[in-house]
A and B are shown apart, each in its own frame.
Chain A
Amino acid sequence: MPKSKSAYSVPTKKQKSDTYIFVVWVDNEAGVLARVVGLFSGRGYNIESLAVAEVDAVKNISRITIVTTGTPQVIDQIRLQLTKLVPVHKVAEFKREDKDVIFKEMALFKVVGKRNKIEKCLNACKKFNPVILDETKSSAVIQITALRREIDVMNKKLKPLGLISTSRTGAVAMTRGAKIFN
């Protein structure tokens, strides 16, 4: 091991990282997203995707969904640090593999090309409830909802078929059955 020449110790063995989804309920006020995102960047945590919108106009509550990776220790810290923020009401987190949670993302694909290529695209998207939002002779905007990695796959698959632009929302999450996050 190299001798540490600084006032700090050298890093030690790393644990395994996993992908987790955080759901955070916050007061919908100026700067709240910056607080949450700043916490991640300031402490060196990852953000793979982020989705945020107001969900309760009366109570003024927004719901933020963040996909992140980290060791169990880091994931614990993320939850505890988020909970400390003043405008944060509630934090829930779960593993991506968690069967009790629905984990969806919406994507818009713009495909430019001949009719048959667009048809092929639609066909390829069949599993993901494709909706055509706009159509011209030479283009189409297709909406799908799917898992994150499915959208990753479709994104690759449609490239040779004339996909020129992708826009995606980032994942949002909801528990299955009657229970809610607590």
Chain B
Amino acid sequence: MSKLLTGAEIVFKCLEDQKVEHIFGYPGGAVLPIYDELKNHPSIKHILVRHEQGAGHAAEGYARSSGKPGVVLVTSGPGATNVVTALTDAYMDSVPLVCISGQVPTHLIGTDAFQECDTTGITRPCTKHNWLVKDINDLSKVMHEAFRVATTGRPGPVLIDIPKDIQFAKAKYKKLNKEKKLNGKSHNKFSQDQIDGLVKLLSKAKKPIIYSGGGVINSGPKASQALREFVELTGFPITSTLQGLGAYPGDDNQFLGMLGMHGTYEANNAMHDCDLLINIGARFDDRITGKIDEFSPNSKKVHIDIDPSSINKIIKVDLAIVGDVTSVISKINKTIAKRKNGHSKSNKSNIAKWWEQIEKWREKDSLNFVNSDESIKPQHAVQRLYELTKNKDTYVTTEVGQHQMWAAQHYKFNKPNRWMTSGGLGTMGYGLPAAVGVQIAHPEKLVIDIAGEASVLMTMQEMSTAVQYNLPIKIFILNNQYMGMVRQWQELLHEKNYSESYSEALPDFMKMAEAYGCKGIKADSPAELDDKIQEMIDYDGPVIFDCHVDPNENCFPMIPSGKPHNQMILGPKDQEENKIKGKGKALV
């Protein structure tokens, strides 16, 4: 007969069986038995954060950059409510997280006990699934099921709420059972007919475009490989969502840059004018589509997604293929190769005109900005950062706002899993703790959080975590003293009424760095920027880089809300030209 284990021991047994190496957490009364057990499991390293939201985002960064699920351990009540933002963020961006929360003992549940809250009730809408374990005999099964739910299908966060008495109670450990029933939740059942249908559309298309998303990243590195082959085989132009950046090389000529609200002119116009749109692992988010009625009006639409509920949710499509991106694209590539029977690249001539049109759009150079010798332009700062780090296999996280869009526009990613940003929920304060998690997963790599000063202050406390574990993360703050994106919207849509978007009393980030025990670097002028960035890269330890940038810069190009893709506001150069030609009004 096998030995009886306590609940806390079972938790660690399961984590070991799932090959978990790192957990991000914060102790408290209701999880103390689990924390007590930690010392007996040297293969699992615990990272102590400073706030549970930080634990969640760190686990997200860990998961997104490594492809493994992130594990979070928090206490009951405030511990659980603090992690809700991160769970919601992970749910929106399909990041696999397993969150273990302590709960008051079973007999006190429902009595408004100290640090009690209805954790499963609160997290029900922001997890794929959650469990309250009331019987110790269920614990091992639930733990393994949790990892399965988090990592299969469309990934996402799950939560296991374990009352304190269950952590002490004893039961037999049940091993991970390989053959589990899937309860009809597996969605990789596409048919060869569907693939043939797509290949037929490919061969007919004159103005095709591929629009790829975070699903390609989530499907693993093989998906990016397959996507690159697919793009090469077809010769089609490709654009990417915010979350999909890196799946296809950002500096390749077939890549049109990001699409959507702050996407490039060529990507958005190609989306609008195309006759075949192939969505691979993206979800027609409202930041992408603009006005739904006028979204890509003349195209046949194909949607490849692992989540059946993404199909036809926003945009009706002509051909839906429900499946894992890797298997679907590999199948398509094989089918194309077979069809071509040797004489490949046959339909590339069909789309030569289309490429000419795209080159014309490209000439607009929609990411342009007017550089300056006096003040640092934020776009210039990102470009310099990119130039000085592009040979280093750099991992970049961001907060949310203008700096995030500039990072997406001007930093070119060539590999998947190098770009971690909060897209769906748009969580300010995501980037710093995410960088902590990324650095834990990749201790030897350069990890940079491209940040805004407002966002970074929301989770600044995690610098203390970075210092404790000697994580050499670089916090590159584009400091414009404004909540820049809010200011931009107020300028463009609310008659420049800058209501509460200016931070009157910002901290001195140099002193802050000193207080945390890391290095502070400040840059004020373009002349010193490169040297200062190099100093940051060369420093072996965490750095807060306070980059003072032009406070009035706006993020262009931009699709104003309620407008279709072909009505963009372009950058300053183009606005000047249009003023002269008198046709600019149509674009604003």
Contacts and interface: CB of A to CB of B under 8 A. Distances in A.
A10 B560 CA distance: 12
Nearest to A27: B183
Contact of B124 (A12, A35, A80): A35
B309 interface: yes
A77 B313 CA distance: 7
A86 B309 contact: no
A35 B124 CA distance: 7
A22 to B, nearest CB: 15
A14 interface: no
A90 B493 CA distance: 47
B197 interface: no
Interface string B523-567: 000000000000000000000000000000000000001100000
Interface in B81-137: 120-121, 124-125, 128-129, 132, 134
Nearest to B494: A5
B249 interface: no
Given A9-B286, A80-B308, 13 more contacts: A8-B286, A31-B121, A31-B124, A31-B132, A34-B121, A38-B125, A73-B312, A80-B311, A83-B184, A84-B309, A86-B183, A89-B183, A89-B184
A162 to B, nearest CB: 42
A129 interface: no
Contacts of B134: 30
Interface string B176-194: 0000000111000000000
A15 B183 CA distance: 33
Nearest to B120: A31
A21 B89 CA distance: 33
Given A12-B292, A76-B312, A77-B313, A6 B561 contact: yes
B125 A4 contact: no
A7 B124 contact: no
B562 A4 contact: yes
B121 A83 contact: no
Nearest to B310: A80
Interface residues of B, number: 28
Given A7-B489, A9-B292, A38-B124, A86 B129 contact: yes
21 contacts: A3-B562, A6-B561, A7-B561, A9-B291, A9-B561, A12-B291, A31-B124, A34-B121, A35-B124, A42-B125, A77-B309, A80-B308, A80-B309, A81-B309, A84-B185, A85-B129, A86-B129, A86-B149, A86-B183, A89-B183, A90-B184
Interface in A111-136: none
Shortest 3 CB-CB contacts between residues of A and residues of B: A80-B309, A9-B562, A86-B129
A31 B291 CA distance: 38
Contacts of B120: 31
A13 interface: yes
Contacts of B292: 9, 12
Interface string A62-95: 0000000000010011001101111001100000
A8 to B, nearest CB: 6
B293 A86 contact: no
Contact of A86 (B121, B128, B312, B493): B128
Nearest to A9: B562
A30 B489 contact: no
Nearest to A1: B562
A28 to B, nearest CB: 15
Interface string B453-476: 000000000000000000000000
Nearest to B154: A84
A154 to B, nearest CB: 38
A83 B561 contact: no
The listed residue with most B CB atoms (<10 A of its CB), out of A4, A7, A90, is A7
B437 interface: no
B313 A9 contact: no
Contact of B562 (A10, A13, A80): A10
Interface string A95-120: 00000000000000000000000000
B290 interface: yes
Nearest to A30: B132
Contacts of A6: 561
Interface string A9-44: 110110000000000000000110011001000100
Contacts of A77: 309, 313
A6 to B, nearest CB: 6
B184 A8 contact: no
B370 to A, nearest CB: 26
Contacts of B307: 84
A42 B308 CA distance: 19
B493 A5 contact: yes
A30 B308 CA distance: 26
The listed residue with most B CB atoms (<10 A of its CB), out of A5, A10, A81, A90, is A5
